[in-house]
Amino acid sequence: MEFEDHYRQSQRPKFDCLLFDLDDTLYPYSSGIAAACTKNIQDYMVEKLGIEESKILELSNLLYKNYGTTMAGLRAVSYQFDYDDYHSFVHGRLPYEKIKPDPVLRSILLSLPIRKLIFTNGDKVHAIKALKRLGLEDCFEGIICFETLNQPFSPTGNSKETQNIFDIVGHFAQPEPGVELPKTPVLCKPSIEAMEYAFKIANINPQRTIFFEDSTRNILAGKQVGLHTVLVGKSHRSQGADYALESLHNIREALPELWVEAEQRRAVQYHSGKVALETSVSA
């Protein structure tokens, strides 16, 4: 038994989970999905929230920069809206046909006998649609998405009358001493709180997890919480990135140890089975 335990410990793989962002990571930015999503968000702000079109660009940029997503920022500055309605408007009209099946990535993912999860700021319906378009819907154990980290929210009937919108544009144009940015009730990357909550829910050990992500700020946050990090879609590492990949198709070249560890897992399983067999026979 002592030998078996020592053998297992010495052969224990360094990684036990691969954590993947979805949009612009599993499929390329060049698909045009991100641009379409941005337009839908801006249309929502005009049509549903009544924000002047001339103010949209500066406002949305500030919200995204300071809160991780425009949605999180809108809630922070006190806009009231139904989360499902927002996602339906923003993602429901996306040109999903631009996301093409990726049999190469599918083959790579299926060749790795290691736990694989999606971690996206998007909603579950969007994540499932994108994964199905890619042909990867059965390659992951689960999806950590917006609904995983956030409770449903729907404004009350008189919420429009009671909204007191924080002027974030004015705040940065003419900062007032002692006035801080309001906090958002939405949990999302790159919030450390959101990441740690995701780890708890999904039982993830960040020290034994590789995080694949296209956002440099999410990569930096991932490193801060202990993840091993891979910046996707870039040829050079950003701050906090352990590796950089122009495409996930290059995982094997950049991280050959994953396949080495896969062989180690098979060896441990074989050895464990052999020991169990010999024990039962000798008994």
What integer pLDDT is reported at residue 176 of this predicted model? 86
User: Is residue 156 very low, low, confident or very high in pLDDT (cuts 50, 70, 90)?
Assistant: confident
Average pLDDT over residues 43-52: 97
Is pLDDT above 70 for 266? no
Average pLDDT over residues 224-231: 98
Whether 45 contacts 51, CB under 8 Å? yes
Q: Which residue in 41, 224, 17 sits closest to 121, CA to CA?
A: 41
What integer pLDDT is reported at residue 273 of this predicted model? 52
Q: Cβ of 270: how many Cβ atoms within 10 Å?
A: 10
Whole-number percent of the chain with pLDDT over 70: 87
Average the pLDDT over each of 61-70, 146-155, 173-182 and give the range with the smallest value.
173-182
User: Is residue 278 very low, low, confident or very high in pLDDT (cuts 50, 70, 90)?
Assistant: very low
Is pLDDT above 80 for 263? no
Whole-number percent of the chain with pLDDT over 90: 80
**pLDDT tens per residue, range 70-118:** 999 999 999 999 999 999 999 999 999 999 999 999 999 999 999 999 9
Average the pLDDT over each of 88-102, 201-215, 246-260 and give the range with the smallest value.
246-260
Share the mean pLDDT of the chain. 90
Q: What is the pTM of this model?
A: 0.88
